[in-house]
Amino acid sequence: MVEPDNLHTKLASLHEISVEIAALRNLSQVHERALNYCRELTDSEFAFSGLLRETTVGRVANGRMEVGDRVMDVAAISGFQPSPEFYAQFHVMSLRSSVVGVVIRENRSYNSNDVAADPHSVGQPEGHPPIRKFLGVPLRLSEDAIGMIGVANKPNGYDGNDEQLLSTFANQVAVAVDNARLYERQRQTIAELEMLRDRLTEAERIQLLGRERTRIAGALHDRIEQQIFTIGVRLNGLLEVEHIERDVREQLAETRRIAIQTADEVRRAIFTLADADHGDVELADDVRTMLRDVERTTGLQAHLSVSGRPTEAVDQVRDLVGQIVNEALANIEKHARAERILVRLRYQQDRVDLVIQDDGVGASELVLKTFPESHLHFGLRHIRELVIERGGVFEAANGEEAGFVIRTSIPFDRDEP
């Protein structure tokens, strides 16, 4: 029994304790600190706090799942350290009629100094230390119970003074719990607003980038492509002249072929720039368009194999993949003497894998050894450097039976979706 002077001392200390609890913003800290004081104020061996859940299914003492009016999630325990397995099995409690359940069901304090003989007792879970004496009080906001605090095994049993002390403190704890919940919801709201702001900022950046792409594409079309077209027309005119030396004619024809190829590459660049910011066009569509252009201009048979599912992160590597495919196709057209091209595109969760293979003559051992540093193979060296700078993998080798193979694996940024 709490002596009157001792009771007055403990009641007087509640103000200081309540101020300390109210200043906490972390819900787990509120529960932990509150239970330590509950045990100290009531001289109890154990203490626990629980919060109500919306669901109506809980686990009772014998381990079976049972439907109850309400269920409670044990938020914290003091004086007893349950195993992870025990907590996982019993932390959700069905609030049927029991020494614990009556506190919530009837929204009132309940004191039992002989739990084993109590008419509300339904037994205890296996592995739980024995509860001989029990006092439970509701956590109330206004008149509504949001949970409860229970203490157990005071040596001389609980009386009305303990109930008054614990009920007074529980009212302060309920306010602190509600404040911590509101603070957590506020933090979540702020985090969501910050994410929304970042998305809007990224959307603005993408929109600005799209406008710049369109401007560059227009400049390429209006100036560069037209100038190349003019060069081609003048070369055609020169080739129609009858009296031209054979070697000059061959050089003019080769120059015309280069002009045609350059015009195709410029058109491909214009298409990529103009459509790169369109969300409804996938990376695979870009590659497929490039292969169709090659088939139309060279007569090569080109095939595309796609696996996996693309995510928004694919846009991070879209331009780089386009550069790799573009350079590989140009090399095949110039050097490979191939008939077929196979491109394999595989979407992974954290990267894109790309394989480009032809059935041509392959590369010499000298080229394979020196292209990473060679200035004679700038295109191949350049795309290799771009992939490696991004943290990817780049391999170039002859195929097992014929041709040349480029294998790349390009990762996404880790801090992007």
With H, G, I as helix, E, B as strand and everything else as coil, classify residue 58: strand
Query: Which of the 8 DSSP states describes residue 392?
Result: -
The answer to whether position 241 is within a domain reads: no
Residue 248 lies in a domain: no
d(CA 35, CA 141): 18
pLDDT score recorded for residue 200: 60
Q: What is the pLDDT of residues 136-185, one digit of tens each?
A: 999 988 888 889 999 999 999 999 888 988 888 888 888 888 888 888 88
* Residue 358, C-beta contacts closer than 8 angstroms, at least 6 positions apart: 332, 336, 338, 340, 341, 342, 403, 404
Query: Which residues, in sequence order, are bridge partners of residue 78?
Result: 47
Beta bridge partners of 72: 52, 93
CATH assignment of the domain containing 177: 3.30.450.40
Whether residues 183 and 295 share a domain: the answer is no
Q: Which of 9, 28, 26 is nearest to 17 (CA)?
A: 9
Q: Choose the final residue of a domain: 143, 172, 190.
A: 190
As a whole number of angstroms, the distance between CA 385 and CA 391 comes to 10
Question: 22-48 burial string, b = 16+ CB within 10 Å, else e?
Answer: eebeebeebbbbbbebbbebbebbbbb
Give the distance, in angstroms, between the CA of residue 22 and the centroid of all CA atoms in the same chain: 34
Residues 31-76: tens digit of each pLDDT: 888 898 899 888 999 999 989 875 444 444 444 444 445 688 888 8
- The domain that contains 394 carries what CATH number? 3.30.565.10
Check whether residue 180 and residue 308 sit in a common domain.
no
Q: Please state, as a whole number, how many other Cβ atoms lie within 10 Å of the Cβ of residue 298.
A: 16
Residues of the chain with pLDDT under 50: 1, 55-68, 277-281, 416-417
403 and 287 share a domain?
yes
Q: CB 411: neighbour CB atoms within 10 A? A: 17
Total domains in the fold of the chain: 2
Domain end among 147, 170, 190: 190
Q: Which domain holds residue 391?
A: 281-417
- Which residue reads 């609890």 in tokens? 21
- Asked if residue 332 belongs to a domain, the reply is yes
The DSSP secondary-structure symbol of 100 reads T
Q: From CA 28, how far away is CA 34, in angstroms rounded?
A: 10
The pLDDT of residue 6 is: 65
pLDDT at 391: 93
What does the pLDDT read at residue 109? 93
Q: Angle CA(407)–CA(323)–CA(289) in degrees, nearest 5? A: 95
pTM score: 0.45
Q: Rounded distance, CA 314 to CA 310, Å?
A: 6
* Separation between Cα atoms, residue 51 and residue 103, nearest integer Å: 12
